[in-house]
Amino acid sequence: MTEEPRVIWFTGLSGAGKTTLAEKLVSYLKNSGVKCELLDGDTVRNIFPQTGFSKKDRDEHVKRMGFLASMLERNGVTVVASFISPYRESRDFVRKMCKNFIEVYVATSLETCEKRDVKGLYKKARKGEITSFTGIDDPYEPPLNSELTIKTDNETVDESFRKLLNYLNC
C-alpha cells in the first residue's frame, strides 16, 4: 500500500463480512507499519451519543463518521471504516470529504446474511421486534460504482481478503 493515507469504506448488509475484513485489514496494515485506525459501526455506536435508525439518523451518523474519517486522513492516518451505510447519498457525501476514498462493497445476499445472523438481529426484525432494519423493512442502496466489490457468499474470508489486498496493492 502506498504511504499516502486513504479512507477505505466497507459497506454492505449486516452480516455481510464488513467487520471481519476490516479488522483483518487493520491488523495487516499495522503489522506493515501503516498508521491506521478502525471505525466500526457497532463500536462507534457504543461510544458516541446514541443515534437512532431512521433515515435521517442513519444519514447523520454516516456523515459524522465520514467527517471523522476525513480528519484522520488529513492528519496522515489511513482509516478503515466498516458501516452498513445503507444510502448512496450519505456515502457519496463522505466520498467528497475525503481525498483518497475507496468504497468496498461487501456484496452478500440477504439470504446468506440471515444465515450468518450471529447477533440474532434478522430474526428479531422478521418478528417485528426491530423496525427500520436494513434489508428487511428499510432499504439498502448498493453502490453503483464502488472501487471494489467483494462477494462473500461463495468465497472464504482469505479469498476475499486476497482480493482486497490485490486491489490495494499490498
Cβ atoms 100, 65 nearer than 8 A: no
Annotated catalytic, 85?
A: yes
Vertex 133 angle, CA 127 and 137, to 5°:
75
Of the candidates 53, 118, 114, the one whose C-alpha atom is nearest the C-alpha of residue 87 is 53
Cβ atoms 143, 94 nearer than 8 A: no
Catalytic option among 14, 70, 85, 90: 85
Task: Report the b/e string of 67-90 with b at 16+ CB within 10 A.
Answer: ebbbebbeeebbbbbbbbbbbbeb
At residue 111, what is the residue type? E
Cβ atoms 36, 81 nearer than 8 A: no
Beta-carbon neighbour count of residue 140 at 10 Å? Answer: 18
Grid cell, residue 14, equals 449486516
Active site residues: 85
